[in-house]
Amino acid sequence: MTKIKEKTILITGGAGGMGKLLAKKCLKKGAKQVILWDINEAQLNETTAQLEKLRFKVHPYVVDVTSIEDIEWAAKDVLRAVGKVDIVFNNAGIVVGKAFVDHSDADIKRTIDINVMGVMRVTKAFLPTMMAHGNGHIINIASAAGLIPNPNMSVYASSKWAVVGWSESLRLELEMMDEDLRVLTVTPSYINTGMFDGVKAPVLTPIMEPDDIVNRIIRAVESNEIILRAPFIVKSVPLLRGLLPTRMFDFVANKLGVYDSMEDFKGK
């Protein structure tokens, strides 16, 4: 089982929302220190000050995960100044909620750069050191959108489908090494962080509170789970998609309100 206590933890998108909650809860569980990466310098400084006021050890870095240069210099500095990272939470992500035809090339590129390339590059920056020590834990925050199509979030869904496939493949590669190298893939439905303001919750799929999903993620890390799907209805998606003809699945998903859940999306 993975222990949070006395571990060094890095969190991307760590200045606010789920990232901030993950940092605070891990520190309260006895983590040795947290490294927060975020592009928002003001929010990063504010979060760092709040956590340090509670006498926690925090290392803030202003990092744009779309930039390979940012990731490389920050990772080198972390490994030099802080030391080995035991647990990485790939939490940074964005959504552009509109029809694909209305996406600009910049919308598409930024979504893929943050949600896919950023996750892979951050992992690649720290994985060799984990492998050299024979232990480490990678947590990839994907989405239920990585399991099911959804109108008005095609590019976001594509990025999360990519993360799910990559994350599970990485898990298998590391398991074959017979070392204590772990990967957790997280696929939650809508979370009440502001990122999905305006969405309509589908039937049987309540919008989750950040505190709830963060607690579930930490429990999943501690028990070495490999996949976390939440809320419960999300667990049925792969089964239903496998059993039902596509048109029948579309009918069911539409009746449950999945396919029109983004109609009134506002976001941050």
Catalytic residues: 156
Sheet holding 180-188, edge to edge: 58-62, 33-38, 8-12, 87-90, 135-141, 180-188, 227-230
The answer to whether the beta carbons of residues 13 and 93 sit under 8 Å apart is: yes
Cα–Cα distance, 153 to 238 (Å, whole number): 19
Cα–Cα distance, 65 to 124 (Å, whole number): 13
Cα–Cα distances (Å) from 98 to 15, 157, 263, in that order, read 26, 12, 9
Give the position of tokens 């940074």: 92
The answer to whether the beta carbons of residues 51 and 58 sit under 8 Å apart is: yes
Cα–Cα distance, 56 to 76 (Å, whole number): 23
